[in-house]
Amino acid sequence: MAATVLVVDDSRAIRQQVGDALATAGYSILEAEDGVQGLLRISEQPDIAMVICDINMPHMNGLEMLAKLKADPSNAALPVLMLTTEGKADLIQQAKRSGAKGWIVKPFKVDQLVAAVRKIVGR
């Protein structure tokens, strides 16, 4: 059974890129375009293995989503990887405080991201 990865990003291009790459690597993909949708997807499908989440999104940004997500103790073990632009140390620290597992800087190489997912999720 393939692990499910949720990709939350308001940029369609990024969702497509990341989604395709992970799908090729054998993961099953869910997408959301902002924090609200992201939380919705997670509530709909509880056995998500990992979340890749942009910080800058409309309606509800990544940090807010992360905070709401981790407020629920059943999500404590869910690894969340934040996507961000370079130089935003305070955002990253905030993310880590809120329980993010790690973070990736944009632009990134898609195959590196796949390797990271593989390392975190396994398989």
Partner 1 sequence: MKRLISYLVLPVEISAFERQYLARMNRIALIFFFCHIPVFIGVAALAGTSPTRAAILTLLALIGPAVAYKTLQNPRHLSVVFGFTAMCMGGILVHIGQGSMQIEMHFYFFVLIALLAVFANPLAIVTAAVTVALHHLTLYLLLPRSVFNYDASIWAVVVHFVFVILESVAACFVARSFFDNVIGLEKIVQSRTNALSDRNRDMRLVLDNVGQGFLTIEPNGTVSAERSAIAARWVGGYVPGKKIWEHLGELDSAGADWFRVAWDSIADDVLPLDMSIDQLPRRWTAGKTTFSLEYRPLIVDGRLTQMLLVMSDVSAQLEREQSEIEQRDFMRLFQCLLKDKKGLLEFFSEADDLVSKIVTPEVTGPELRRLVHTLKGNCALFGLSALAAFCHDLESNLLDAGGAMTGSKREQLGRIWGLFASNLRSLLGSDRADRVEVDQTEYAAVLDALDGNAAREEIALRIKTWQFETARTRLTRIAEQTRAIGSRLGKGSLNVVIEPNDVLLFPESWSAFWSSFTHAIRNAVDHGIESPEERLAVGKPREGQIRLTTKLLDDELWVEIADDGRGIAWNLVRERAAAAGLPHESREALVEALFHDGLTTKGEISEFSGRGIGMGAVRAICRKMGGSVQITSTEGKGTCLSFRWSNVHDRLDALVLGPISSPTIENQTQEAEGHLQ
Helical residues (DSSP H) of the chain, grouped into ranges: 12-24, 35-44, 62-71, 89-98, 110-121
Q: How far is the CB of 57 from partner 1 (least distance, A)?
A: 9
Question: What's the closest the beta carbon of residue 112 comes to partner 1, in angstroms?
Answer: 5
Work out how close the CB of 25 gets to partner 1 at its nearest, in angstroms, rounded to a whole number. 14
List of residues 6+ apart from 39 with CB closer than 8 A: 60, 65, 68, 69
**3-class state of residue 46 by DSSP:** coil
Token pair, residue 110, equals 């898609």
Which residue's CB is nearer to partner 1, number 39 or number 117? 117
CB of 58 to partner 1, least distance (A): 7
Tell me whether residue 1 or residue 6 sits nearer to partner 1 (CB atom): 6
Q: What is the CA radius of gyration of the chain?
A: 13
Please say which residue, 60 or 120, places its beta carbon nearer to partner 1: 120
**DSSP single-letter state for residue 47:** T
Chain residues that interact with partner 1, rule: CB under 8 A: 11-13, 16-17, 20, 56, 58, 79, 81, 85-90, 92-93, 101-107, 109, 112, 115-116, 119-120
Terminal Cα-to-Cα distance of the chain (whole angstroms): 10
> Which one, 73 or 119, has the nearer CB to partner 1?
119
